[in-house]
Amino acid sequence: MRLAVQNLSFNYPGHPVLQEVALEAEAGELLSLVGPNGSGKSTCLKCLARVLRPVGGAVYLDGRDVAGLSGRELATRLGYVPQETPQVFPLTVYEAVLLGRRPYLGWSVSAGNRQVVEEVLRLLHLEHLAARTLDQLSGGEKQRVALARALAQEPQLLLLDEPTANLDIRHQLEVLGLLQALVRRRGIIVFLVLHDLNLAARFAEKMLLLHQGRVFAAGSPRQVLSPENIRAVYGVEARLWEDGVGLQVVALCPTEGWLPGPAEAGIGPANGSRGNK
């Protein structure tokens, strides 16, 4: 599997959201998409997943334009998990994950398909919840169910919009570790939107920093996450260092317009070098 995105653009009526986004990924890569609120991360992911039709540009999977794939072809190649999945008429956890097998199913559910579902449930520690309905789950459990559904599609490209947003730190690490393992062992591509720069830097070898709908920087976390880039994109002063775990980012304070006044709080651009958070 090879993912190539060329000149991807998208507008909501009146204002551009994405402009000329380009990226490439090879099998076995885990990429993260970071950027401030409203920078177009979710829109970018939706365009990749064909949930939104881009105004310009194209997404290619193994050289084939995604726009030309049939629904079934798309569903078996690409799994997408939005930030939130509203459930009006909740299914049981088992059925919700089984939906991921829809592209492989006729009317009834064969043993092979059930096996895949049960495997995925086990992988995400959801077995004991299989018979519960989604409305009885916590936010984090729901999020794992959504991920499980996408995994049950057995896609070669996984697009995840903040997969760790509702997870506690342990489940954050578990889910990201699992994704890392999937990337290594099965050679799939995982492309995820993350807010947490530390997690992004630690688990993704490639990073895209989005700013006002454009790719501001791309490359390894070390290349992308510099104090200058963070200041330019987020408007935040940050301190970075590297230890054995990975690149660590601590946001200190907004570069400007911070109401309590940096001086009062004893930190800020002026005396940030004092280095006391």
- Of 244 and 257, CB closest to another protein: 244
Contact between 200 and 176 under an 8 Å Cβ cutoff? The reply is: no
- Of 150 and 194, CB closest to another protein: 150
Strand-pair category, 30-34 with 189-193:
parallel
Q: Residue 12: how many CB atoms within 10 A of its CB?
A: 10
Please pick, from the candidates 178, 236, 240, 253, the single residue that binds another protein as defined by CB under 8 A.
Answer: 178
In three-state secondary structure terms, 243 is: coil
| Alpha-carbon dihedral sign for residues 12, 75, 2, 162 | positive
User: What's the distance, CA 253 to chain centroid?
Assistant: 25
Our finding on whether 184 is near another protein (CB under 8 A) is yes
Contact between 252 and 274 under an 8 Å Cβ cutoff? The reply is: no
Please pick, from the candidates 22, 181, 251, 265, the single residue that binds another protein as defined by CB under 8 A.
Answer: 181
Contact between 31 and 24 under an 8 Å Cβ cutoff? The reply is: no
Using CB under 8 A, which residues numbered 89 to 118 contact another protein?
89-92, 94-96, 98-100, 102-103, 105, 107, 109, 111-112, 114-118
Our finding on whether 119 is near another protein (CB under 8 A) is yes
List all residues 6 or more positions away from 234 whose beta carbon is below 8 Å from its beta carbon. 36, 251
Among the residue ranges 18-26, 128-136, 250-258, 259-267, the one whose residues contact another protein (CB under 8 A): 128-136
DSSP states of 177-203 as a string?
HHHHHHHHHH--EEEEE-S-HHHHHHH
Query: Minimum distance between the CB of residue 209 and another protein, rounded to whole angstroms?
Result: 24
Please pick, from the candidates 26, 38, 122, 265, the single residue that binds another protein as defined by CB under 8 A.
Answer: 122
Query: Minimum distance between the CB of residue 276 and another protein, rounded to whole angstroms?
Result: 21
Q: Residue 111: how many CB atoms within 10 A of its CB?
A: 6
Among the residue ranges 16-24, 48-56, 189-197, 221-229, the one whose residues contact another protein (CB under 8 A): 48-56
Binding-site ranges for another protein (CB under 8 A): 46, 49-51, 70-75, 78-82, 85-92, 94-96, 98-100, 102-103, 105, 107, 109, 111-112, 114-119, 122-123, 130-131, 133, 135-136, 146, 149-150, 153, 173-174, 177-178, 180-182, 184-186, 243-245
